[in-house]
Structure 1
Amino acid sequence: MLGLMQDWPLRLHRLIDHAARHHGARPIVSRSVEGPVHRTDYAAIHRRSLALAQRLAREGVKPGDRVATMAWNTWRHIEAWYGITGAGAIYHTLNPRLFPDQIAWILNHAESRLMFCDLSFLKLLEGLAPKLPHILRFIVLTGPETMPETSLPGAVDYESWLAEADGDFEWVAGEENAAAGLCYTSGTTGEPKGVLYSHRSNVIHALACNAPDMLGLSATDRVMPVVPMFHANGWCLPFIAPLSGASLVLPGPKLDGESLQSLMQAEGVTFTAAVPTVWLGLLQYLEASSAPLSTLKRVVIGGSACPRALTAAFERRGVHVVHAWGMTETSPIGTICGVKPEVAGRDAEGTLDLQETQGFPPFTVDMRIVGDDGAEKPWDGTTFGNLQVRGPTVTRGYFKAERDALTPDGWFETGDVATIDPAGYMHITDRTKDVIKSGGEWISSIELENLAMGHPDVAEAAVVAARHPKWDERPLLVVVPKAGREVSRDSLLAHLAPQVAKWWLPDDVVVVAEIPHTATGKILKTKLREQFAGYFGVP
């Protein structure tokens, strides 16, 4: 027997419909690529997204077609996502920081038919266009007054193109399990892999991740998604904000500390989210300028482990840090560090201990840790295991792959090594490929990095395994000093010594001017391992 409830497929257009009907006047503020700050609201975004879907239909875009976007976080990019999915097509985000050959490979693998792109990327795309036979038209996200000459095939400015549609259009109907978005992993090892989200997975992910112990946004929040929309589904904020009625403040291309602070302060931002490297830049600017950050209440930090010193610096300013973990394959939020009753009431240091963990999952995500033999490990807070997840917002395979990417019993292998404590808090201790195996024991590179970041002269730190003649691998600490500061091996080791077991101490410290990063802002451990593999004399 079936229930007697209405059949209401969970399609993404429901989110922007809701926002327009019940929060239509809520401000959407963007720093445009052209420079000026642009102001609109959910009602206008809804109207223009309908017109965009109508215009795509006139271009011959059909359900299931991929439509690429290479753009910063602005109102036009939001319109593109809702318009593309409202036309039944699939938004396909591209990270412009990838190598050009990777971008071309991804576009050809996805067989995207059209591309929406910002002015910032015209030169890059002009060079790639001859390698992109599937793309029939480039729609440049600007108006006629700022549209430059370009050799891109079928290029047209967005505003003129959109003006050809009147918005008298109905969203394309379809199944909730139909594909809605395509996002490729960064491909640091092997070719990038495409994660194909459905309408249903995106909607229920947004609902689950906005629970009070998760992101908990409301209509009174002013949300700045600093994490780009081309990073792992934009951390779902383009979907969570409309369903909650929260105002959006979109930073566009300017992600430096001064630009972020000025926009946050001017627009009263209460909530924001990005990777640690962004917040290190903001804090350095705040320290140097004494600029205020008076309205910000919460910051979500994910993408890589958040250093304790970074958390403490925000907390001293009255900004609560919410540590999160996820990946492209988990839509992307997998866990968020909320506060359960079992761990409430801690002092400041105890709270920082808690905030170093990545927390617990929302409803729709389950997790476990297992050994190399597949046997589940205990939740005792000390036993390491390979982290696996499952749920309706977790991928079961990759786009165009021949087989599913799950274990025989249906779990997704994340590639992370973690502990889980008795209260259910998960703590990433390393990537499987980054953990240091010294004399048969495991050493967490992440924990050493976070402790090193607590040194007053260190701006950034990375720990990698270097081959050792006796112990197989030993930790090597690579650090970048803060501007105008000097840091020595002895002072760093003295800083670490009281905080870790003696055999965890790095065997040496290397001071560098810069640490390499991936296109998503993570430390590029593969390059560091190659550079320092033979540091202790073992080829």
Structure 2
Amino acid sequence: MMKGDLLISSMLERAERFFPKKEVVSRTSSGTQRFTYKEVGKRTRQLASRLEQYGLQRGAKVGTLAWNHHRHLELYFAVPGIGSVVHTINIRLSPEHVIYIINHAEDELLFVDEDVFPLVEAVYDQLKTVKAVIVMTDNELPDTKIESVFSYEEWIKSGDEKFEFPKDIDETEPAGMCFTSATTGNPKGVVYTHRSTVLHSMSLSLADSAALSESDSIMPVVPMFHVNAWGIPYASTWMGSTQVLPGPRFTPEVLAGMIEKEKVTVTAGVPTIWLALLKELEENSYQTDSLRAVICGGSAAPAGMIKTFEEKYNVPFLHAYGMTETSPLATVSRLKSYQENLSKEEKLDIRSKQGLLIPGLEMKVVGGDGEIAWDGEEMGELLLRGPWIADDYYKDERSEDAFIDGWLHTGDVCTVDEEGVIKIVDRTKDLIKSGGEWISSVDLENALMAHENVFESSVVSIPDPEWQERPVAVVVLKDPAVSTSKQELIDFLRPSFAKWWLPDDIIFMEEIPKTSVGKFLKRALRDQVKEHYEQAK
């Protein structure tokens, strides 16, 4: 068979050649702009040419601190297109973590959105390897003491829009880099190769996966600084899909409006995004009938939310699972053909789980006595390996704890039923052990969020002298004016759980702390719960 390297640049070249009229719709601080793939291709080639003119070498790191828009998409292809590495940086991290990430990656250039520039300016004197900052804006450059600052549009003007991407890049060379969001310690870096990115994009396009195709209008709400927006911009470009990029500081109103106006067919984000969107849909009127899939990942989606999307708004909900180390797609929850005749409740139960392993990957689930039984009851840690699974962290000794004997130890505890359907029950560190038995905080959280007046819920453990640990639930109400008592919520849970699973207490709060990518930040929540009980003494 012919040998041909799988290169990221070939994905853009396909879009230019076969889908030059298809559009990228980009919302920026200057308004919504539209570019065809032909135009995106020319601009990306200008950028790639300009990076080479600047003297950027193969393997050099280019940092981005940016939202989801066309310029960020151009960086996705231009930087790896010349053999360098695009390093997407989470703009919601603390300044200390931003400094650590940029220095650890040894970024040479930073491409920064104008509203993020003050963050970079504040820490610039602590960045050891950065030589210049390019601000992505349609406006004038901000006043600054940083010497080497350029406007993106002016900077790429001298680039050649007919620039040819080099073809002598090896597919196993680094192409991208992303750091974990770090709930404890410093973030950990994961490096993606050309090969891993192309194969991951192919997996997103499989019919039994996300099934991304040319006919789709795809809106990734998950940030482009977080695991490459789950790889969606790469796959969408390769397939020639219309892309709708929601830009900076979007709101549920903005998302709902873009879905309606751009006739979005697929959108993707974490559960907190979809909870907020549901609230907007319930309060105002929008056309959402174009949607064929809402892809949800990052943490478990409440069954009640899935049911509302599908039954009230007729929007199919697609549950998926992955992590930074898995590029991130690892599983998708779809029904098998012979399960379509099950009852609504049975189908919802299956589709609220994390689903089946994506073709191309391998898995095993290991408990205390080896691999667990596939009975839907026994719990163990999920281990993964495959061509888009990382095999270490970038220059980090913590690799030894996560990558063992060729397997990624995910830190996620799950069950697997007889059909092979995975259900994540908790992180290893978040499982609650009470009287020698395990309690899943995720199951309790999702059950509570099925209550009609519960907006969000998170469950953590508190020490107990008799039982070792006991669960406590924290709840945010949709409408605090509607009377909802602790006992009402406990009674709501009672039919679904054993008595010893029921939370010892329910604390009502206005907000639950979250990570920079919208997941519940349980470390901070445990501190708040501890403080709550100390103040009550």
Pairwise TM-score range, normalised by the shorter structure: over 0.9
Deviations 1:464-486 (A, max 9, x none): 01111110001101101113434
What aligned pairs does 1:360-509 form with structure 2 within 5 A after superposition? Answer: 360-373=356-369, 375-402=370-397, 408-483=404-479, 484-509=481-506
**Cα pair distance change 1:495/1:122, threshold 3 Å:** same
Q: CA deviation at 1:166?
A: 2.1
Match of 1:181 in 2: 176
- What secondary structure sits across from 2:470 in the alignment? strand
Would you say 1:54 and 2:49 are equivalent positions? Answer: yes
The 1:319–1:258 alpha-carbon spacing in structure 2 relative to 1, beyond 3 Å, is same
Deviation at 1:42, TM superposition (A): 1.2
In the alignment, which residue of structure 1 is the partner of 2:208? 213
1:101 corresponds to which residue? 96
Instruction: Give the whole-Å Cα distance in 2 for the aligned partners of 1:129 and 1:241.
Output: 34
Counterpart Cα distance in 2 of 1:21 and 1:142: 28
Aligned counterparts of 1:533 and 1:123: Cα–Cα separation in 2: 35
Residues 42 and 162, structure 2, Cα contact 8 Å, conserved in 1: no
Paired residue for 2:354?
358
Choose 347-356 or 406-415, whichever is displaced more: 406-415
Relative to structure 1, the CA distance from residue 309 to residue 141 in structure 2 (aligned partners, 3 Å threshold; closer, same or farther) is same
Aligned position for 1:26: 22
C-alpha contact 1:467 1:536 (8 A) present in aligned 2: no
Counterpart mapping for 1:114-513 below 5 A: 114-143=109-138, 145-172=139-166, 173-316=168-311, 317-373=313-369, 375-402=370-397, 408-483=404-479, 484-513=481-510
- Aligned twin of 2:519: 522
Q: Secondary structure at the match of 1:370?
A: strand
1:494-539, CA deviations, whole angstroms, 9 ceiling, x for partnerless residues? 11001111111111110011110011110010112233358789x9
AA partner of residue 417 (structure 1): V
Paired residues of 2:402 and 2:410 also in contact (CA < 8 A): no
What is the CA-CA distance between 1:363 and the residue it aligns to?
1.6
Contact 2:434-2:467 within 8 A present in 1 as well: yes
Q: Which whole-Å CA distance do the structure 2 matches of 1:230 and 1:408 have between them? A: 28
Distance in 1 separating the partners of 2:224 and 2:415: 30
Q: What residue ranges of structure 2 are gaps of 5+ in the alignment?
A: none
Taking structure 1 as reference, are residues 318 and 146 closer, same or farther at Cα in structure 2, changes over 3 Å only? farther
Distance 1:390 1:501 in 2: 35
Q: Which amino acid aligns with 2:333?
A: C
- Rounded to whole Å, the distance in 1 between the matches of 2:239 and 2:470 is 48
Deviation at 1:43, TM superposition (A): 1.4
Q: How does 1:6-21 map to 2 (within 5 A)?
A: 6-21=2-17
Residues of 1 paired with 2:404 and 2:186: CA distance? Answer: 24
Percent identity of paired positions between Structure 1 and Structure 2? 41
Q: Are the equivalent residues in 2 in contact too, given 1:462–1:478 (CA < 8 A)?
A: yes
Q: Which amino acid aligns with 1:151?
A: K
- 8 Å CA contact 2:9, 2:165 repeated in 1: yes
> Structure 1 residue 308: deviation in Å?
1.0
Aligned residue type for 1:439 = G
Q: Does 1:82 align with 2:81?
A: no
Q: Hey, what's the Cα distance between the residues in 2 that align with 1:535 and 1:475?
A: 15
Deviation at 1:408, TM superposition (A): 4.4
Instruction: Give the counterpart letter for 2:28 in structure 1.
Output: S
What is the DSSP-based 3-state SS (H/G/I as helix, E as strand, rest coil) of the residue aligned with 2:59? coil
Match of 1:68 among 63, 71, 90: 63
> What SS is found at the alignment partner of 1:159?
helix
1:409–1:133 Cα change, 3 Å: closer
- Write the distance in 2 (CA, Å) between the matches of 1:532 and 1:439: 21
Which TM-score applies when normalising by structure 1? 0.96
Deviation at 1:372, TM superposition (A): 3.4
Would the aligned equivalents of 1:384 and 1:418 in 2 still touch at CA under 8 Å? yes
Kept after mapping to 2: 8 A contact 1:95/1:230: yes
Tell me the TM-score normalized by structure 2. Answer: 0.96
Runs of 5+ unmatched residues, structure 1: none
**Residue type at the aligned position of 1:377:** I
Question: Tell me, what secondary structure is at the counterpart of 2:115?
Answer: helix
1:210: how far off?
1.4
